[in-house]
Amino acid sequence: MRLTGVIPPVCTPMTPDYQVDTASLARLVDHLLAGGVDALFVLGSSSEVAYLTDAQRRVVLDTVVGHVGGQVPVLAGVIDMTTPRVLDHARVAREAGVSGLVATAPFYTRTHPDEIRTHFRTIAAQGGLPVYAYDLPVSVHTKLSAGLVLGLAAEGALAGVKDSSGDDGGLRAVIMGRAAPFSVLTGSEVTVDSALWMGADGVVPGLGNVDPHGYAELYRCAARGDWEAARAEQERLVRLFEIVRVGGSRMGGSSSGLGAFKAALHLRGVIDCPITALPQTPLNDDETGRIGKLLAAAGLL
Amino acid sequence: MRLTGVIPPVCTPMTPDYQVDTASLARLVDHLLAGGVDALFVLGSSSEVAYLTDAQRRVVLDTVVGHVGGQVPVLAGVIDMTTPRVLDHARVAREAGVSGLVATAPFYTRTHPDEIRTHFRTIAAQGGLPVYAYDLPVSVHTKLSAGLVLGLAAEGALAGVKDSSGDDGGLRAVIMGRAAPFSVLTGSEVTVDSALWMGADGVVPGLGNVDPHGYAELYRCAARGDWEAARAEQERLVRLFEIVRVGGSRMGGSSSGLGAFKAALHLRGVIDCPITALPQTPLNDDETGRIGKLLAAAGLL
Amino acid sequence: MRLTGVIPPVCTPMTPDYQVDTASLARLVDHLLAGGVDALFVLGSSSEVAYLTDAQRRVVLDTVVGHVGGQVPVLAGVIDMTTPRVLDHARVAREAGVSGLVATAPFYTRTHPDEIRTHFRTIAAQGGLPVYAYDLPVSVHTKLSAGLVLGLAAEGALAGVKDSSGDDGGLRAVIMGRAAPFSVLTGSEVTVDSALWMGADGVVPGLGNVDPHGYAELYRCAARGDWEAARAEQERLVRLFEIVRVGGSRMGGSSSGLGAFKAALHLRGVIDCPITALPQTPLNDDETGRIGKLLAAAGLL
Amino acid sequence: MRLTGVIPPVCTPMTPDYQVDTASLARLVDHLLAGGVDALFVLGSSSEVAYLTDAQRRVVLDTVVGHVGGQVPVLAGVIDMTTPRVLDHARVAREAGVSGLVATAPFYTRTHPDEIRTHFRTIAAQGGLPVYAYDLPVSVHTKLSAGLVLGLAAEGALAGVKDSSGDDGGLRAVIMGRAAPFSVLTGSEVTVDSALWMGADGVVPGLGNVDPHGYAELYRCAARGDWEAARAEQERLVRLFEIVRVGGSRMGGSSSGLGAFKAALHLRGVIDCPITALPQTPLNDDETGRIGKLLAAAGLL
């Protein structure tokens, strides 16, 4: 069965002392399900997975899988440097009851395409769950070529790809080259209508935390062939996406983007505290105020 | 007290089924100590730290700290993506009894220099041990500027730096800008004489696994001012360093380099098995043969 | 007036001794005009501008402007490292009678966004013609941000942008942020339908040399709102675009792409000789044969 | 004959309206010759070659070659994107009477190592003068590997290399691997003593414009084996090199570095006007004042 629709990477709310705020997390899950999403992706980049300790990752898995109770599939990121460490995360995720694993190519190490293939093949063979490749060159510093992804798909090592590379030419090559039932998901918040137009199956939008209804509506419009409405909804979301740039050059892109999602969730009353994990720079009051205005302009406050 | 001399990043021998081979690891430690090294660095890049599970990291720490029994200081790499995960590794390393921590800047995330400062300050404040910055742009995709390193040194957050950036101009800026007792170590195997000439305190050579006597001799020559002899020894080691290129373009740089060190240790009878962790591509017989010839040419077989 | 439609970057046919083959160039222009293109772009990357001497650039300008005789607008690339050198090319192009200039950000030098702004403002002020920014990070190693482009557009320094960055999120930000009559053109051959869907005004497809009818048809379908037909035509062109990968890893991407366009034009009988400028590696007979098969599959042979 | 010693890349003084200031340029040549340099390198990166029109490049060649009158060799940069354009510059330089050509790998294009070899071989075959490879990854975005350089040296296509990559391990590999009389020159201002220590033949220091006596003294100390004195002089020059960082993050690295050299030459009374070519951001009065203080601290004002 092919994974389709809106699958937001679930933010990880924290308490002021940087612990996972499970109550807020459960509320966020409710907010997403109420928004009409089709599945959840926990422990992705937008979940601050890179900042969570293994113990915190476990809390997130247990909280979300438990709270969702099987209403929708839950995918889990198993983000780590190499195969053995990824396999450890995969075991924990599988035991927690998730439906699929999302893994990047190796990073930190200097890796050959053959080694990337070995990596995904090993996770597929030993992970015990469908594996989705996560193409995120901005973090991993390797682009998964269409040829590599399609080859792994053809041999059954991959169930799908989450393409956050921003390279829609590459995305299209995978869409056109795949055999069913390989799932192609875009990770770009701002070109969902065109990705769906090309034949993508769904979207994994960080911004979907803030406005799940918006992405669900966009997807439904596209699914019923009302592309004009899909585009109008997409353009509204493009304007909302400006929240990730409010932090500007005084902080890293991770702080600015993840901080914006959490600030928006806090302003919308979904989570108790907008704090992001160390060493991220927090947004200040002025920046939070500008996020509030963008939310209001999008009809979300 | 300033850390000085030869501090090899200790390779992690493995059994054919990819478990830490503690007997071989103990023999490797003996080999290094017999070679005259001044301290040991476990869980660095040359230790395949990126490929070791947390359980394996613990085995390495316990094996080496236990086997060394305080003869020399043992530093531990606490390599992970961000501050909270690094702090977890730091706790384990501290409990194992190491003398210092070696941490990179955050990676995978998109980070601002202010956030790198927060990262190292937090590790220094909560790690409970001296912290050495590990400058490794090829893995971390961030270069630690001399200004950043010197600022953290001045405020006491860093005890030293291991510079594996290959940028000897930057290395010199740190050497000239530091106040004692900040320790400057080069991670480049092939410019140790010149780094010491500029005033560096020591070296962390991956190739030191294969030929610890060579690096110890190089360091002693430099320490007594016999620079001609230091250079001659360095040039011998430069020729030996060709082993890391034997794997060539059919594998990633990590496989080629780490595989070569392990193949050489195996050929020299120090470790039982030259296997490297997944997903690295293993060297084949022809390549291992060429490594043997380079070892012989360097007087090591 | 806003530039719209299909504006191919015209290849530069050469004789076997690497001179501009003006007869073939004229035939290529006829082939493109017969294909229904809306304007021509000479001296772009696909024209091998980086390989042409100044004298050859002049020959190309005179040949094409003369042969076109005002039937369609002709834009000229003024590709060089910095402002003063670009201004020299701009003077020559203006004297040749072109309608607009296409300039990249500075390259070779290490440049600040403020300096990129100064660069485009100076070309606009002194170039005497409308200026189109050419966003080509793969060559220039700088991405023009949407904010920078829109700022220059608002102050009248830019008449449009040719976006060959592959970043369709950025393309959309420019489309949504512009005020008429700023022209947004995609340089990506494989996402033209989606770029037009987002509101782009046209396309500058290197592959349009080989199949101008195809891109003209795609554009017409989109213009009349028949998006299904546009997509079908685009997908045919995506399959044809495989010709640029035939050269594979034994040559650089420039050789492979430009060589494929010229080989196809030669096979289709448009130009006399498929040679590419030095130091590019030529395609061999086997590779040319595979290009022939892809042309046949696309209905072009 | 092997090129050795101090070979500064000669800055290009300009009048306030951005023309080559030939009178200042002649004074700068006198200043350099009086400083004891061994040869001159015109039209290098520090000469703002990327910003000079072809006409200006010719003025520089004629002015310097004429003014030097054969007292020392003059090398000329032939910096451009690809082989045909480089050959045009080579012809002009040869006619002007220079002794050698300095060429980078192709840039702007995407190039394979085989194509880089073809590039240098063609320049060597058709340029009519000894060719020095200019390894400058920060501008060219390609690193010339030691293997590639040594291969071209062995076949006689290269007379030497100017290594501005900052990679002293690579520099050493070339030094150890070459057969006489291949000339190895470092382009790094701050590691000249160690490069000479490794066996380099000379240095091409941008900072040598400001303090030619310093680099000549450094070289003489090294040549007579007084390495302590060489190091002391080098360390003085390292402190002086801080002038290139005064412009900081408000401008590009080219503006900051080239602006600093010119400001210093102006403050020292060598050139009439410190202006740099467009689109570089000029240093302001405060920044110029700080450069003055660094000059004074180095004993140069």
C143 is catalytic: no
State the Cα–Cα distance between residues C6 and C207, nearest whole angstrom. Answer: 11
State the Cα–Cα distance between residues C125 and C87, nearest whole angstrom. Answer: 10
* Residue in D198, D218, D227 to test binding to B, most B beta-carbons within 10 Å: D198
* Listed residue (C16, C217, C7, C179) closest to C102, CA to CA: C7
* Listed residue (D283, D299, D280, D192) closest to D238, CA to CA: D192
pLDDT band at C90 (very low <50, low <70, confident <90, very high): very high
- A97 Rama class: left (phi>0) / alpha (psi -120 to 50) / beta: left
Instruction: Select the residue of D173, D176, D194 nearest B168 (Cβ to Cβ).
Output: D194
- With 80 as the cut, is the pLDDT of residue D1 above it? no
Show the tokens assigned to B7: 């501090």
* Listed residue (C221, C227, C214, C223) closest to C264, CA to CA: C214
Q: How far is B96 from chain A (nearest CA, A)?
A: 19
Q: Which residues of C touch A169 (CB under 8 A)?
A: 166, 188-191
As a whole number, the mean pLDDT across chain B is 97
pLDDT band at D242 (very low <50, low <70, confident <90, very high): very high
- In three-state secondary structure terms, C299 is coil
Decide if B133 contacts B170 (C-beta within 8 A).
no
Cβ contact, residue pair C190, A173, below 8 Å = yes
* Residue in C85, C134, C138 to test binding to D, most D beta-carbons within 10 Å: C85
- In three-state secondary structure terms, A60 is helix
| Residue of chain C whose alpha carbon sits nearest to that of A190 | C169
Cβ contact, residue pair C280, D115, below 8 Å = yes
State the Cα–Cα distance between residues D50 and D277, nearest whole angstrom. Answer: 10
Decide if C243 contacts C236 (C-beta within 8 A).
no
| Residue of chain C whose alpha carbon sits nearest to that of D117 | C279
How deeply is A300 buried, as exposed, middle or buried, from its count of CB atoms within 10 A (0-12, 13-18, 19+)? middle
Instruction: Select the residue of A53, A140, A278 nearest B122 (Cβ to Cβ).
Output: A278
| Residue of chain D whose alpha carbon sits nearest to that of B199 | D231
pLDDT at B2: 87
Q: What is the pLDDT of residues C98-142, one digit of tens each?
A: 999 999 999 999 999 999 999 999 999 999 999 999 999 999 999
**What's the mean pLDDT in C273-298?**
98
**First-residue to last-residue Cα distance in chain C:** 37
Q: Looking at the DSSP assignment, which residues form a beta bridge with residue B203?
A: B6, B186
Q: Which chains touch C (3 or more CB pairs under 8 A)?
A: A, D
State the Cα–Cα distance between residues C105 and C90, nearest whole angstrom. Answer: 15
Q: Looking at the DSSP assignment, which residues form a beta bridge with residue A103?
A: A133
Instruction: Select the residue of B169, B189, B193 nearest D166 (Cβ to Cβ).
Output: B169
Cβ contact, residue pair B235, D173, below 8 Å = no
Q: How far is D191 from chain B (nearest CA, A)?
A: 6
State the Cα–Cα distance between residues B250 and B237, nearest whole angstrom. Answer: 24
Helix (H) or strand (E) holding A232: helix A227-240
pLDDT at D209: 98
Out of D108, D143, D162, D293, the active site residue is: D162
Decide if B120 contacts B126 (C-beta within 8 A).
no
Q: Which residues of A touch C173 (CB under 8 A)?
A: 190, 238
pLDDT at D282: 98
Helix (H) or strand (E) holding C117: helix C113-127
Show the tokens assigned to C2: 């806003």
- With 90 as the cut, is the pLDDT of residue C2 above it? no
Q: What is the pLDDT of residues D26-81, one digit of tens each?
A: 999 999 999 999 999 999 999 999 999 999 999 999 999 999 999 999 999 999 99
pLDDT at D2: 87
State the Cα–Cα distance between residues D197 and A133, nearest whole angstrom. Answer: 49
Residues of chain A with pLDDT under 50: none
Q: Which residues of C touch A166 (CB under 8 A)?
A: 166-169
Domain B5-225 falls under CATH 3.30.70.20: no
pLDDT at D41: 98
Q: Which residues of D touch C255 (CB under 8 A)?
A: 112, 115
How deeply is B72 buried, as exposed, middle or buried, from its count of CB atoms within 10 A (0-12, 13-18, 19+)? middle
Angle between helices D54-68 and D22-34 (to 10 degrees): 40
| Residue of chain B whose alpha carbon sits nearest to that of A136 | B108
Cβ contact, residue pair C109, D84, below 8 Å = no
| Residue of chain C whose alpha carbon sits nearest to that of D115 | C279
Cβ contact, residue pair C188, A169, below 8 Å = yes
Residues of D in CB contact (< 8 Å) with C are: 18, 50-54, 56, 79, 81-85, 87-88, 106-112, 114-116, 118-119, 122, 138-141, 250-255, 277-281
pLDDT band at D241 (very low <50, low <70, confident <90, very high): very high
The amino acid occupying position B169 is G
Cβ contact, residue pair D190, B198, below 8 Å = no
* Listed residue (C96, C98, C139, C140) closest to C119, CA to CA: C140
Cβ contact, residue pair C190, A169, below 8 Å = yes
pLDDT at A70: 97
pLDDT at C301: 92
Q: How far is D59 from chain C (nearest CA, A)?
A: 15
CA–CA distance from D43 to each of C50, D70, D162 (Å)? Answer: 20, 18, 14
The ipTM (two decimal places) reads 0.98
Does the pTM surpass 0.80? The reply is: yes
Cβ contact, residue pair D53, C115, below 8 Å = no
pLDDT at A201: 97
A134 is catalytic: yes
Dihedral sign from CA coordinates of A204, A48, A156, A129? negative
Q: Which residues of D touch B169 (CB under 8 A)?
A: 166, 188-191
Cβ contact, residue pair D194, B194, below 8 Å = yes
Q: Looking at the DSSP assignment, which residues form a beta bridge with residue D20?
A: D14
- With 80 as the cut, is the pLDDT of residue C21 above it? yes
Q: Which residues of D touch B249 (CB under 8 A)?
A: none
The domain segmentation of chain D, as residue ranges, is: 5-225
pLDDT band at D180 (very low <50, low <70, confident <90, very high): confident
pLDDT band at D153 (very low <50, low <70, confident <90, very high): very high
Decide if A52 contacts B86 (C-beta within 8 A).
no
Taking CB atoms and an 8 Å cut-off, how many pairs form between chains A and C?
Answer: 58
Q: Is B161 annotated as a binding residue?
A: no
Cβ contact, residue pair D169, B166, below 8 Å = yes
Q: How far is A235 from chain B (nearest CA, A)?
A: 26
Out of C18, C51, C143, C162, the active site residue is: C162
What is the radius of gyration, based on Cα positions, of chain D? Answer: 18
Q: What is the pLDDT of residues C215-268, one digit of tens each?
A: 999 999 999 999 999 999 999 999 999 999 999 999 999 999 999 999 999 999
Helix (H) or strand (E) holding B165: none
Q: Which residues of D touch C83 (CB under 8 A)?
A: 51, 277-279
Q: Which residues of C touch A174 (CB under 8 A)?
A: none
- With 80 as the cut, is the pLDDT of residue B180 above it? no
